């Protein structure tokens, strides 16, 4: 397929038309091109799609990119028009540090959690970003895709396609954005754990959270980023997990059940989630 005409002249004309139609409104663009593409910079407000750790580069590279583009365009209003990662509630990993193949069929939910945790903290630290748009609220249909657990679907949503299950990452943003006390244990869909030694993670906006495993306290944690973690050892079989968060005089809680294996899988299998 031959490349089409450069869009810069058209975008400039549209920007001029916006100013003529209503000079009280600012023109805005969402760009999916290289930073130096001239059409990115025609409008008064600028936003760029960036997926470091999914389509572009490595997870953790967003911050340096944002700092660099702000340095090169200090008088521009720059934002992020898309960011996210795919996730299946049926696929899991105990150690999701390795980036999955974005076009492959294995999209563990825990990697999406890690992606949004890192991205949001880097965005919070950069108030010069005028917008930060999560892509997407819901999984949605795309006929040309064949990835994740379902052909014809984009699985970057914070909620499943049928609107029935809120993924873990949904609650990470809830912990950051709501003022009502809330606590949520990640892994509600990760019922059958892959190993007995796991990291229990809680998203909460509370002053402190106490975790209980089979009614035994695992300690009280505080956090500055709404993420609370505990290393825990699960008993063989069924385990009850309960988190109690305290915010001022208010307490709130969440609970789930995890099943641990009778024998330990290999470290590689636990990391990949292939046994789940």
What is d(CA 239, CA 33) in angstroms, rounded to the nearest whole number?
48
- Domain boundary at 154, 177, 200, which? 177
Using the Cα atoms of residue 157, residue 226, residue 233 and residue 243 in order, give the sign of their dihedral.
negative
Using the Cα atoms of residue 263, residue 269, residue 275 and residue 276 in order, give the sign of their dihedral.
positive
Q: Are residues 71 and 155 in the same domain?
A: yes
Lowest mean pLDDT among 4-8, 38-42, 47-51, 79-83: 4-8
Quick check: 209 pLDDT over 60? yes
pLDDT value of residue 6: 86
Q: What is the pLDDT of residues 26-57, one digit of tens each?
A: 999 999 999 999 999 999 999 999 999 999 99
Q: Are residues 103 and 209 in the same domain?
A: no
Q: What is the mean pLDDT of the chain?
A: 94
Position with higher pLDDT, 233 vs 276:
233
Quick check: 3 pLDDT over 80? no
Q: Are residues 163 and 194 in the same domain?
A: no
Find the domain containing 108 and state its range: 1-177
pLDDT value of residue 276: 47
Quick check: 8 pLDDT over 60? yes
CB-based contacts of 205, cutoff 8 Å, min separation 6 = 175, 176, 178, 179, 181, 182, 226, 247
- What is the share, in percent, of the chain residues with pLDDT greater than 70? 95
Q: How far is CA 98 from CA 50, 94, 112, 148, 232, in A?
A: 19, 11, 11, 16, 22
Q: What is the pLDDT of residues 226-273, one digit of tens each?
A: 999 999 999 999 999 999 999 999 999 999 999 999 865 555 555 555
- 2 falls in which pLDDT band (50, 70, 90)? confident
Q: Are residues 190 and 155 in the same domain?
A: no
Q: What is the pLDDT of residues 103-147, one digit of tens each?
A: 999 999 999 999 999 999 999 999 999 999 999 999 999 999 999
For the chain, the first-to-last Cα distance in angstroms comes to: 41
Q: Are residues 166 and 187 in the same domain?
A: no
Residue 265: which CATH number? 2.60.40.10
Residue 31: which CATH number? 3.20.20.80
Q: Are residues 45 and 168 in the same domain?
A: yes
Q: What is the pLDDT of residues 165-203, one digit of tens each?
A: 999 999 999 999 999 999 999 999 999 999 999 999 999
- Annotate the chain with three-state secondary structure: CCCCCCCHHHHHHHHHHHHHHCCCCCCEEEECCCCCCHHHHCCCEEEEECCECCCECCCCCHHHHHHHHHHHCCCCEEEEEEECCCCECCCCCCCCCCCCCCCCCCCEHHHHHHHHHHHHHHHHCCCCEEEEEECCCECEEEEEEEECCEEEEECCCCECCCCCCECHHHHHHHHHHCCCCCEEECCCCCCECCCCEEEEEEEECCCEEEEEECCEEEEEECCCCCEEEEEEECCCEEEEEEEEEEECCEEEEEEEEEEECCCCCCHHHHHHCCCC
Q: Are residues 140 and 243 in the same domain?
A: no
- Domain boundary at 128, 149, 177, which? 177
Quick check: 212 pLDDT over 70? yes
Q: Are residues 71 and 150 in the same domain?
A: yes
Q: Are residues 201 and 123 in the same domain?
A: no
Q: Are residues 169 and 251 in the same domain?
A: no
- Domain boundary at 177, 202, 234, which? 177
The predicted model scores a pTM of: 0.92
59-75 as b/e: b if 16+ CB within 10 A: beebbebbeebeeeeee
pLDDT value of residue 65: 97
How many structural domains comprise the chain?
2
Q: Are residues 172 and 216 in the same domain?
A: no
Position with higher pLDDT, 268 vs 79:
79
Q: Are residues 186 and 164 in the same domain?
A: no
């Amino acid at each position: 397929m031959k490349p089409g005409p450069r869009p810069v002249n058209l975008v400039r004309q549209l920007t001029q038309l916006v100013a003529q139609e209503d000079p009280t409104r600012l023109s805005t663009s969402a760009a999916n091109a290289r930073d130096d593409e001239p059409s990115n910079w025609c409008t008064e407000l600028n936003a760029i799609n960036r997926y470091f750790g999914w389509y572009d580069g490595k997870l953790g590279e967003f911050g340096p990119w944002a700092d660099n583009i702000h340095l090169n365009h200090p008088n521009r209003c720059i934002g992020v028009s898309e960011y996210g990662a795919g996730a299946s509630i049926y696929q899991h990993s105990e150690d999701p540090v390795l980036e999955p193949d974005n076009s492959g069929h294995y999209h563990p939910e825990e990697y999406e959690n890690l992606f949004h945790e890192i991205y949001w903290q880097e965005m919070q630290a950069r108030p010069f970003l005028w917008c930060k748009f999560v892509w997407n609220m819901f999984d949605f249909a795309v006929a040309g895709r064949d990835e994740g657990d379902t052909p014809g679907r984009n699985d970057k949503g914070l909620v499943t396609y049928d609107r029935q299950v809120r993924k873990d990452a949904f609650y990470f943003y809830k912990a950051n954005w709501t003022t009502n006390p809330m606590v949520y244990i990640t892994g509600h869909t990760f019922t059958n754990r892959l190993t007995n030694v796991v990291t229990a993670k809680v998203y909460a906006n509370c002053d402190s959270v106490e975790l209980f495993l089979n009614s035994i306290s695992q300690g009280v944690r505080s956090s500055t980023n709404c993420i609370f973690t505990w290393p825990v050892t699960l008993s063989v079989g069924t385990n009850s997990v309960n988190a109690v968060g305290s915010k001022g005089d208010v307490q709130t809680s969440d609970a789930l059940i995890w099943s641990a294996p009778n024998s330990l899988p290999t470290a590689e299998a636990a990391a990949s989630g292939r046994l789940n």
